[in-house]
Amino acid sequence: MFFWLSKTLDLLLCPLTWALALLALALAGSEARVRGRRRSLVAAAVAVLVVFSLEPVANGLERALERAAPNTYRADVTYDAVILLGGVVERASVSGTPAYNDNVERLLVTYDLLRAGRARSVIVSGGVLDPTVPSLTEAGVLGAQLVDWGIAADRVVIEARARNTHDNAVESQRITEARGWTRLLVVTSAFHMPRAIGCFRAVGLPVDALPVDYRAYDPSRFSGSWLPRASALERSTTVLREWFGRAVYRLRGYSR
């Protein structure tokens, strides 16, 4: 129930949804007495789209989100396992050809850690990608990719049950306790790391954190475009959803 509710509310936390809702309200009445209200609603819809589509606005939101990402990675430690959180695969065909999204740095950094011997094993955590193909899981796709790149299969542990960050922590705890692993490192995007670490704390699993995939830039060095961009709107939406996710997880007790 929580999973589907979170996905529904996730859709509502989108500036495009807000703009469409405002336009729908504007078109709801036709009487002369509501024309002034209609113009105000249309203006508000345009303002929402324009503001959240500006690159400096999106960047400012991202900087605020990423600033809270802890980094406790210890270069002098060989970890029992690195925990790779899902959210990397955009789609994967039954032929096994994956398409990765902007979070792919999670996979690349994990591979580097394994290749360099900074971690002995990896837990790849991610559930079903497509409900119509239940055998196709993100953990399976990412695990196969690591093996294709030369990581020994016996170093790759597939965890294909998790549907969200809370599940990532719960299932990782189950695996690490069964194997007696204590030195653990979580790899995920910087914007996602505070919520992820909070989830691991909530299940009582101590981990180090290595945030990757930083996206915000220093505005003193690069001002960014002040023309509305669809890409900036997408970035703003991602930030708003993550803020919402952090709040809901804390209320549910999933994150500490």
Q: Is 206 found in the same domain as 85?
A: yes
pLDDT band at 161 (very low <50, low <70, confident <90, very high): very high
pLDDT band at 13 (very low <50, low <70, confident <90, very high): confident
- Cβ burial 41-54 (10 Å sphere, 16+ → b, else e): bbebbeebbeebbb
Residue 142 CB-half CA count within 13 A: 35
Q: Report yes or no on 219 lying in a domain.
A: no
Q: Is 90 found in the same domain as 150?
A: yes
Q: Report yes or no on 218 lying in a domain.
A: no
Cα–Cα distance for residue pair 6/4, rounded to 1 Å: 5
- Contact (CB, 8 A) for 91 and 195: no
pLDDT band at 9 (very low <50, low <70, confident <90, very high): low
Q: Is 101 found in the same domain as 41?
A: no
Q: Is 193 found in the same domain as 95?
A: yes
- At 95 the pLDDT is 59
Cα–Cα distance for residue pair 142/2, rounded to 1 Å: 26
Q: Report yes or no on 248 lying in a domain.
A: yes
Cα–Cα distance for residue pair 85/184, rounded to 1 Å: 13
Q: Report yes or no on 183 lying in a domain.
A: yes
Amino acid letter at 241?
R
- At 141 the pLDDT is 92
What mean pLDDT do residues 138-147 have? 95
- Cβ burial 161-175 (10 Å sphere, 16+ → b, else e): bbebbbbbbbbbbeb
- At 14 the pLDDT is 87
Element (H, E) at 122: strand 119-125
- At 133 the pLDDT is 77
Q: Is 35 found in the same domain as 105?
A: no
Cα–Cα distance for residue pair 119/73, rounded to 1 Å: 12
User: Comparing 66-75, 126-135, 154-163, 203-212, which segment has the lowest mean pLDDT?
Assistant: 126-135
Cα–Cα distance for residue pair 139/167, rounded to 1 Å: 13
Structure confidence by residue, pLDDT tens digits, 171-202: 999 999 999 999 999 999 999 999 999 999 99
Check pLDDT > 90 for residue 10: no
Report how many domains make up the chain.
2
What mean pLDDT do residues 81-108 have? 86
Structure confidence by residue, pLDDT tens digits, 38-88: 888 889 999 999 999 999 999 999 999 999 999 999 999 999 999 999 999
- At 35 the pLDDT is 66
Cα–Cα distance for residue pair 185/168, rounded to 1 Å: 13
Check pLDDT > 60 for residue 93: no
Measured over all CA atoms, what is the biggest interatomic distance in the chain, rounded to whole angstroms?
Answer: 72
Q: Report yes or no on 221 lying in a domain.
A: no
Q: Is 62 found in the same domain as 110?
A: no
Q: What pTM was computed for the model?
A: 0.86
Strand ordering across the sheet containing 156-159: 156-159, 119-125, 79-85, 184-189, 208-212
Q: Is 93 found in the same domain as 61?
A: no
Q: Is 121 found in the same domain as 53?
A: no
- Using a pLDDT cut of 90, give the percent of the chain over it: 68
- Contact (CB, 8 A) for 170 and 125: no
Q: Hey, what are 109's tokens?
A: 């950094």
Structure confidence by residue, pLDDT tens digits, 194-251: 999 999 999 999 999 999 999 999 888 887 788 999 999 999 999 999 998 899 899 9
Q: Report yes or no on 220 lying in a domain.
A: no
- At 134 the pLDDT is 78
Domain of residue 167, CATH code:
3.40.50.620
Q: Which residues contact 212 (CB under 8 A, 6 or more apart)?
A: 105, 106, 109, 187, 188, 189, 190
pLDDT band at 130 (very low <50, low <70, confident <90, very high): confident
Q: Is 148 found in the same domain as 116?
A: yes
Q: Report yes or no on 36 lying in a domain.
A: yes
- Cβ burial 81-94 (10 Å sphere, 16+ → b, else e): bbbbbbbbbeebee
- At 97 the pLDDT is 76
Q: Report yes or no on 232 lying in a domain.
A: yes
- At 80 the pLDDT is 98
Question: 198 lies in which domain range?
Answer: 79-212
- At 181 the pLDDT is 97
Cα–Cα distance for residue pair 17/137, rounded to 1 Å: 29
Q: Is 93 found in the same domain as 55?
A: no
Q: Is 144 found in the same domain as 20?
A: no
Q: Is 63 found in the same domain as 83?
A: no
pLDDT band at 92 (very low <50, low <70, confident <90, very high): low
Cα–Cα distance for residue pair 224/56, rounded to 1 Å: 6
